[in-house]
Structure 1
Amino acid sequence: MSDQQNSQQERTLFEMIGGETTVRRIVEAFYPLVQAHQLLGPLFPENIEPVMEKQYLFLTQFFGGPPLFSQQYGHPMMRARHMPFEITPQRADAWLGCMEQALTDIGIDPQLRELLLQRLQGPAYHFVNTDN
């Protein structure tokens, strides 16, 4: 394996997508889609700004950037944080669909988009807590 391939593999998703600027763009493209979605919109507060900021902190950390979420809020414990909300398989699918649309809208390379979505599938379905 060449040195270039080695260094490419060692790069985090956070670095591969362009760091904090791109994570911000993802969050800003994602939440209007979520708010407009009939299954997801009702789960979120009208003032979406605090949610967007937490998502920015979490995705930065989740994609291999600085541990911003943990520094501010402690261990993510995302399943526990989502338990008060009815997360159905359909809502997990919708969340991933909105994320895919946001990634497409901001021009993330298709191969990189697939990597990001694969990485997000685990947590999205892990949060499912009801079939209703």
Structure 2
Amino acid sequence: MSAGGESVQGNFYEQVGGHDAFRRLVEAFYREVAEDEVLRPMYPEQDLGPASDRLLMFLEQYWGGPTTYGELRGHPRLRMRHAPFKVNPEARDRWLAHMRSALDGLALPPLQDATLWSYLERAAHAMVNTFED
């Protein structure tokens, strides 16, 4: 049941608004990353578009949307893909701050917001691969 009492159907991807919701989340996130002096250097492309596309495809597939990520890139292997980058607690915290801001912009119902945020927090903590500055 939603906050308004109506029945909620579909998987998580559909419940939060599908492609449009995840696209808005990722676009808002990368607008902030583009200005972040710690995170921006981790993205080798001049244009953040390819990174944005990858994150969008990953999140959509993870939450029950199209399986495009797996079809194009295979298994996510998140730790392996992030290993070349220095992901320390500061980078994690900045990533989380930008993602929290982007998620707030979606104004999801509390249950969906908490569900998505819980995953994003766990994923961010799992990506830390150094405690050095």
- Scaled by the length of structure 1, what TM-score is found? 0.85
Overall identity of the aligned pairs, in %: 34
Residue by residue over 1:16-42, the C-alpha shift from the partner in whole angstroms, topping out at 9 and shown as x without a partner, is 211111111111111011111232122
Query: Which residue in 2 is equivalent to 1:124?
Result: 124
- Identify the residue that residue 20 of structure 1 maps to in structure 2: 19
Does the 8 Å CA contact 1:34/1:41 hold for their aligned counterparts? yes
Q: Which amino acid aligns with 1:48?
A: L
Contact kept in structure 2, 1:29 and 1:106, CA below 8 Å: no
Alignment correspondent of 1:72: 72
Query: Offset of 1:97 from its aligned partner?
Result: 1.1
In 1, Cα distance between equivalents of 2:96 and 2:76: 19
- Normalising by structure 2, report the TM-score: 0.84
Q: Tell me, which stretches of 5 or more residues in structure 2 are unaligned?
A: 1-6
What are the ranges of 5 or more consecutive residues in structure 1 without an aligned counterpart? 1-6
Whole-angstrom CA distance in 2 between matches of 1:89 and 1:13: 29
CA RMSD of aligned residues (A): 1.9
8 Å Cα contact 1:13-1:116 kept in structure 2:
no
| Structure 2 equivalent of residue 55 of structure 1 | 55
Q: Is the partner of 1:36 in helix, strand or coil?
A: coil
How far 1:96 moved relative to its partner? 1.3
2-structure distance, mates of 1:120, 1:11:
21
The count of corresponding residues between Structure 1 and Structure 2 is: 126
**Contact persistence 1:61–1:69 (CA under 8 A):** yes
1:81-128 CA deviation, whole Å, 9 max, x = no partner? 000000012211211111110111233334422221101122211111
Q: Distance in 2 between matches of 1:102 and 1:21?
A: 13
CA contact (8 A) 1:100 1:113 kept: no
- Which amino acid counterpart does residue 25 of structure 1 have in structure 2? R
Q: Which residue is equivalent to 2:106?
A: 106
